[in-house]
Amino acid sequence: MAEVMAGFVCGYALAVIVTPVAALTLVRARLTSQTVRTALPEGTSLVAVSVLLHTAAFLVCTALGILLGLLLAGLESRSPSGGLGSPNQVFTAFILAATAVAVVPMGVYAVRLRVPLLAGGLLFAGIFGWLMPYLALWGPG
């Protein structure tokens, strides 16, 4: 149960970090993208956009965190060995591999988005791959 709660907390932390960055990115993209300009016409409140983005990010990130918490709980019972700077080496390796599979192909094709993709991938891997297993250790044994 501690792993699931740790996943929820990490998902919520990721949602809180992603929301302002995504809102500012959308508002700035309004200058160059006709699609974004149509969806977010001039005069649209940044606060309203942030509320909608945070709601979506909260639901998606916490659900993902809960699922990863269930995975961590299952892996903890089967292979609890530490490594890679984490209490659970297998889980952290899985998170790193999944992040690489998601980020690298997009970074190859979207040259302008390489730096934001790399930053987002590192943030995801750091929060879920390293912080989450340590948070799970703080829970009841």
pLDDT digits (tens, 9 = 90+) for 51-73: 999 999 999 999 999 999 999 98
**Domain hosting residue 14, numbered range:** 2-138
- Which residues on adjacent β-strands are paired with residue 33? none
What tens digit of pLDDT does each residue of 103-138 get? Answer: 999 988 888 888 888 999 999 999 999 999 999 888
Torsion angle in degrees (nearest 10) through CA of 47, 52, 56, 57: -10
Q: How many structural domains are present in the chain?
A: 1
CA 56 to chain centre: 12
- Written as six digits, the tokens of 89 are 């080496």
* Full-model pTM: 0.85
